[in-house]
Structure 1
Amino acid sequence: MTEHILISQPEPGIALVELARGKVNAIDHRMYGELAEAFDRLSDDPTVNVAVLTGRGHVFCAGNDLNDFRTMDTTSGELQMRNVRRAMFNLIDCSIPVIAAVNGPALGSGFGLTASCDLVVASAKATFGLPEMNVGVLGGGRFTARMLPQQAMRRLFFTAEAVDAHTLERWGAPIEVVPHDVLMTTALTRARSIASKSRYALTLAKQSLNGCEGMDLKRGYELEQTFTVRLSEHPDSKTAVEARMAALTNGKNI
């Protein structure tokens, strides 16, 4: 049971994961542990095909709880950073796709959580930033580089100034910016599209994409093909092929 990570299932196949700690959803070391456990559980839940991650209230996530930094030294800091890495990597490695529904400021680790998701839908009211330099710490650049070119990421990092969602989109971030009042409707629409797919196919696809992300073209495509062969042997694959062929026979468009 988690205190600050709330999980519900609003529709079949879809999990809603809400960050819920204080007014700004700042993450402390205990909440990082809860995040890691939450995405572990979702990985093993056969009733869920996709998750939507959002923040409760008006803020997605304001980053780390600054109280953790006040007493941090090299010994305690390494233990805390391991906890952070476990949460982030469990999100990235979650066996099902995760959609970020960014409802407000996503700062520091909040930006890191966003960058660790598979799809991002952002409210026009959302802001993104890396304020670490203003509070005497570092981190966040490598995660942000999953979404932005190097110089855009470095501008955020060195200035510690937040930008709005439309600016982030203009800089090249692959996010879908929508009016605030349709944020969750849009995120759930994307989730339904994913949830309709075979869970087995989704988990193989997630492993495949994660595995080839850091590879060159040749090695990455070779890895993808091994997953294609694995999926082709599964009954879900044959069902999908037959359904598509039947649709084409009945005159439906490709």
Structure 2
Amino acid sequence: MPASRMEYRYLLLDVADKVATVTINRPDKGNALAPDVLEEAASMFSALGRREDVHAIVFTGGEKYFSAGFDLNEIRKLEKASNEAYTALFHRAYRAVLFCPQPVICAVGGPAIAGGFDLTMMCDIRYASTRAKFGQREIVLALTPIMDPLWRIVGLGRAKEVALTGRIYNAQEAERMGYVSQVFPEGELLASVEKIARAMAASDRTALVETKRLSNQLLNHDLDGAMRVQEWLFRSFIGSEENHQRIDALQAQLAAARRK
């Protein structure tokens, strides 16, 4: 089933075991984000969100890059009085990833800088290889950066440091600040993340989608309201046929393990 009707030049798509792997494929430019790349990202993630056979998505640039960020040659052509369409395109791509219904796992194999860093920020979970680097470089280019959802991931104080210094962080630093969940040896990232994604995708799709939605909504509630939302959502799933089937399967696995 194709991701959408448009032809993709800069994004590769593979779907297997309920996992869609989206790979930015512009290696001659360090996977820089030209307008066509952003158009494709917005289209593909919107289409994947409608696919019932996709439970989880891996977003990557491969083992060597994620994305070097804005295509500076394209940015340099812009004028302040006529930048609206380009700015809207960036944010349409960002929102397509951020609000994609299924969990989006980012596998960062190399530099994720400026707009490339912003794309990793839109994902739900980030994993990196030891060669990965992260930097929100907008301030260096006299641009304002995206602070939200960055502050939700690493906290406001650290987000201010990332945004205001524009410095480059290595994978270990990104892991220590909580931006990256785990760092894998160079060359082992994609296989490791695919294994994680397949395990996640084995879960019920609706439960995955609603859990992601819940995580995005909770900051808008006070503690009492959050607890009520979570109670209601849990009640919507417990006792369902899918819940019963999975309990039966788990109990059968446990019984078989005890007999060994």
State if a TM-score over 0.5 links the two structures: yes
Which residue of structure 2 aligns with residue 156 of structure 1? 162
Q: CA deviation at 1:57?
A: 6.2
- Contact kept, 8 Å, 1:124 with 1:166, in 2: the verdict is yes
Q: CA deviation at 1:245?
A: 4.1
Identify which range, 94-103 or 235-244, moves more after superposition.
235-244
Q: CA deviation at 1:184?
A: 1.0
1:126-145 equivalent positions in 2, closer than 5 A: 126-145=132-151
Q: For the structure 1 residues 96 and 23, does the alpha-carbon distance in structure 2 shift closer, same or farther, using more than 3 Å as the test?
A: same
1:194-233 equivalent positions in 2, closer than 5 A: 194-232=200-238
- Contact kept, 8 Å, 1:101 with 1:120, in 2: the verdict is yes
- Contact kept, 8 Å, 2:24 with 2:62, in 1: the verdict is yes
Which residue of structure 1 aligns with residue 39 of structure 2? 33
- Contact kept, 8 Å, 1:88 with 1:113, in 2: the verdict is yes
- Contact kept, 8 Å, 1:121 with 1:177, in 2: the verdict is yes
- Runs of 4 or more consecutive aligned structure 1 residues displaced over 6 Å after TM superposition: none
* Distance (whole Å) between structure 2 residues aligned to residue 56 and residue 183 of structure 1: 9
Partner of 2:154, secondary structure, is coil
Question: Amino acid of the residue matched to residue 127 of structure 1?
Answer: K
* Distance (whole Å) between structure 2 residues aligned to residue 194 and residue 90 of structure 1: 21
Q: CA deviation at 1:91?
A: 0.8
How many residue pairs match? The answer is: 251
* Distance (whole Å) between structure 2 residues aligned to residue 85 and residue 204 of structure 1: 24
TM-score (normalised: structure 1): 0.89
* Distance (whole Å) between structure 1 residues aligned to residue 136 and residue 153 of structure 2: 13
Which residue of structure 2 aligns with residue 72 of structure 1? 78
Matched, 1:14 2:19: yes
Which residue of structure 1 aligns with residue 196 of structure 2? 190
Q: CA deviation at 1:19?
A: 0.9
- Contact kept, 8 Å, 1:204 with 1:231, in 2: the verdict is no
Identify which range, 162-171 or 144-153, moves more after superposition.
144-153
Q: Deviations over 1:73-128 (max 9, x none)?
A: 34432322222222111111111111110000011121111121111110011000
Q: CA deviation at 1:250?
A: 5.7
Gaps of 5+ in 1: none
- Contact kept, 8 Å, 2:126 with 2:179, in 1: the verdict is no
Question: Amino acid of the residue matched to residue 35 of structure 1?
Answer: A
Q: CA deviation at 1:56?
A: 3.9
Which residue of structure 1 aligns with residue 64 of structure 2? 58
Which residue of structure 2 aligns with residue 89 of structure 1? 95
Q: For the structure 1 residues 209 and 28, does the alpha-carbon distance in structure 2 shift closer, same or farther, using more than 3 Å as the test?
A: same
- Contact kept, 8 Å, 2:107 with 2:127, in 1: the verdict is yes
Partner of 1:146, secondary structure, is helix
- Contact kept, 8 Å, 1:121 with 1:186, in 2: the verdict is no
Q: For the structure 1 residues 191 and 26, does the alpha-carbon distance in structure 2 shift closer, same or farther, using more than 3 Å as the test?
A: same
**Identity percentage of aligned residues:** 27
Q: CA deviation at 1:4?
A: 1.1
Which residue of structure 1 aligns with residue 128 of structure 2? 122
Q: For the structure 1 residues 214 and 80, does the alpha-carbon distance in structure 2 shift closer, same or farther, using more than 3 Å as the test?
A: farther
- Contact kept, 8 Å, 2:128 with 2:180, in 1: the verdict is no
Q: Deviations over 1:29-71 (max 9, x none)?
A: 2322211111111111122111111104622011111133223
TM-score (normalised: structure 2): 0.87
